[in-house]
Amino acid sequence: LNAPVDTPAAPRSVGAVTPSRMSFDAPLKLKSGASVARYELMYETYGTLNAAKSNAVLVPHALNASHHVAGYYADDPRNVGWWDNMIGPGKPLDTERFFVVGVNNLGGCFGSTGPSSTDPETGRPYGSRFPVVTVEDWVNAQARLADRLGIQRFAAVMGGSLGAMQALQWAISYPDRVGHALVIAAAPKLSAQNIAFNEVARQAITTDPDFHGGDYYAHGVVPRRGLRLARMIGHITYLSDDAMMEKFGRSLRAADIGYHFDIDFEVESYLRYQGDKFSTYFDANTYLLITRALDYFDPARDYGDDLAAALSRALAKFLVVSFTSDWRFSPARSREIVKALLDNRLDVSYAEIDAPHGHDAFLMDDPRYFELVRACFENVARAMA
């Protein structure tokens, strides 16, 4: 049996990274029937693509994140990639071995073409005219990026949450282009409760007087209040009750309660801070688009609501991971995916990590979780060789 590989060098950062931009001139047909004539995608890569181009790993992002997955920017060293603890030299996804690609999805607000980009036809931001995009559309756009980077096949696609849904979709849309799919903290489709939370977030944005039907750019404003609320409600769903209690309890900002409606409790302060911060950098239309992509994600829908039938095309080896305290996408939702993979007799391993952090656990340091991902990538490397 395989012993753990020799102790790798102490994990470290990939260091200063530089984002790149790729332009696509061929129209991208979307699932809705609409199409995007031309678009650009921001991406980052870490590590070196080997001569056989067999060591590429795609890491799609979830709701709030971007192509900046690991490392930092030389001119902004505090801007560290969102999965920097997972990816880098000596880390579970080891950039000494793998060529890692992070990409900002179509419709995003970190440089890829999205609602805040200028529509070449009008010379104004797309705003409300930007089409609704789906997980399938993102995956198709990512596949084109892979083509241009000369990557015929990804050794692995790894994602958490909405990123995991993209990994799953990759295995369905491009079965022969994915070696392994790491599907972490995922669900095969949103529940009514999940959609309900998204709808509250969207309503917060669209009912903000500064929303202007999505064309707020022309008015020189952003629906900040709506974005704040959207972020606050989202944030609550990312944390477990226990984690929140552990972190904040009923701690007060002041010595005693104030008998007012301003901040009394630490948790209120925290949520407001998160909301404020988010509303300064995230585009409201992108938030609408991404939550809608989540709502619409349902690969079984085209297969008579049979997830196993949807996955019958897949060829990848799967690692499915859930976290016990995740109530947003609970372990039971991951087990639905596992069941469908088992029904197809696909290679699948499933781990249920006993972690207290809720949905956010997929972004946290956890020795068992990291060791699991590391073990999986040892196999990915073996399959590559």
Partner 1 sequence: MTDADRIRLAGRADFEAIAAWVREDATVLDLGCGDGLLLRYLTQARRARGYGVEIVDERVIACVRNGVNVIQTDLERGLSDFDAASFDYVILSQTLQAVRHTEQILMDMLRVGREVIVTFPNFGHWRGRLQIAFGGHMPVFGSLPYQWYDTPNVHLFTIRDFDRFCADRGIGVLERVVLSDGEPVRFMPNLFGSLAVYRLQKRRLLGKL
The residues in 54-113 that bind partner 1, with binding defined as CB under 8 A, are none
Q: Does 372 bind partner 1 (CB under 8 A)?
A: yes
* CA angle in degrees (0–180, nearest 5) for 145-69-377: 85
Q: Does 378 bind partner 1 (CB under 8 A)?
A: yes
Taking each helix axis from N to C end, the angle separating 266-281 and 224-238, rounded to the nearest 10 degrees, works out to 120
Other Cβ atoms within 10 Å of 255 Cβ, number: 6
Residue count (the chain): 385
Distance in Å, CB of 328 to partner 1, minimum: 20
Contact of 310 with 300, CB cutoff 8 Å: yes
The residues in 314-343 that bind partner 1, with binding defined as CB under 8 A, are 319, 335, 338-339, 342-343
Q: What whole-number distance in Å separates Cα of residue 177 and Cα of residue 154? A: 6
Q: Which of 24, 350, 360, 363: binder of partner 1 (CB under 8 A)?
A: 350
Q: Does 27 bind partner 1 (CB under 8 A)?
A: no
Q: Which of 1, 254, 255, 385: binder of partner 1 (CB under 8 A)?
A: 1
Helix (H), strand (E) at residue 116: none
Q: What is the DSSP string of 281-325?
A: HS-HHHHHHHHHHHHH--GGGGGTT-HHHHGGG--SEEEEEEETT
Whose Cβ is closer to partner 1: residue 208's or residue 366's? 366
Q: Does 40 bind partner 1 (CB under 8 A)?
A: no
Q: Tell me which residue of 94, 29, 34 sits closest to 370, measured CA to CA.
A: 94
Which region, judged by CB under 8 A, interacts with partner 1, from 21-29, 68-76, 112-120, 348-356? 348-356
Q: Does 351 bind partner 1 (CB under 8 A)?
A: yes
Q: Does 348 bind partner 1 (CB under 8 A)?
A: yes
- Active-site annotation, residues: 161, 326, 359
Q: What whole-number distance in Å separates Cα of residue 299 and Cα of residue 305? A: 8
Task: Classify burial at 354, counting beta carbons within 10 Å of its beta carbon; exposed 0-12, middle 13-18, buried 19 or more.
Answer: exposed
Distance in Å, CB of 370 to partner 1, minimum: 10
Whose Cβ is closer to partner 1: residue 294's or residue 311's? 311
Q: Is 10 left (phi over 0), alpha (psi -120 to 50) or beta?
A: beta
Q: Does 382 bind partner 1 (CB under 8 A)?
A: yes
Whose Cβ is closer to partner 1: residue 78's or residue 382's? 382
Q: Which of 176, 246, 302, 371: binder of partner 1 (CB under 8 A)?
A: 371
* Size of residue set near partner 1 by CB under 8 A: 26
The residues in 256-295 that bind partner 1, with binding defined as CB under 8 A, are none
Which region, judged by CB under 8 A, interacts with partner 1, from 67-75, 107-115, 220-228, 345-353? 345-353
Whose Cβ is closer to partner 1: residue 211's or residue 350's? 350
Whose Cβ is closer to partner 1: residue 136's or residue 366's? 366
Q: Does 365 bind partner 1 (CB under 8 A)?
A: no
Q: Does 368 bind partner 1 (CB under 8 A)?
A: yes
Q: Tell me, what DSSP letter sits at residue 121?
A: T
Distance in Å, CB of 360 to partner 1, minimum: 20
Token pair in block for residue 237: 């769903």
Helix (H), strand (E) at residue 270: helix 266-281
Task: Classify burial at 196, counting beta carbons within 10 Å of its beta carbon; exposed 0-12, middle 13-18, buried 19 or more.
Answer: exposed
Whose Cβ is closer to partner 1: residue 43's or residue 350's? 350
Distance in Å, CB of 324 to partner 1, minimum: 11
Q: Does 42 bind partner 1 (CB under 8 A)?
A: no
Q: Does 2 bind partner 1 (CB under 8 A)?
A: yes
Helix (H), strand (E) at residue 371: helix 367-384
Q: Does 349 bind partner 1 (CB under 8 A)?
A: yes
Residue 360 vs residues 243, 282, 355: alpha-carbon distances, Å: 10, 19, 10
Token pair in block for residue 329: 């996408």
Residue ranges binding partner 1 (CB under 8 A) = 1-2, 4, 319, 335, 338-339, 342-343, 345, 347-354, 368, 371-372, 375-376, 378-379, 382
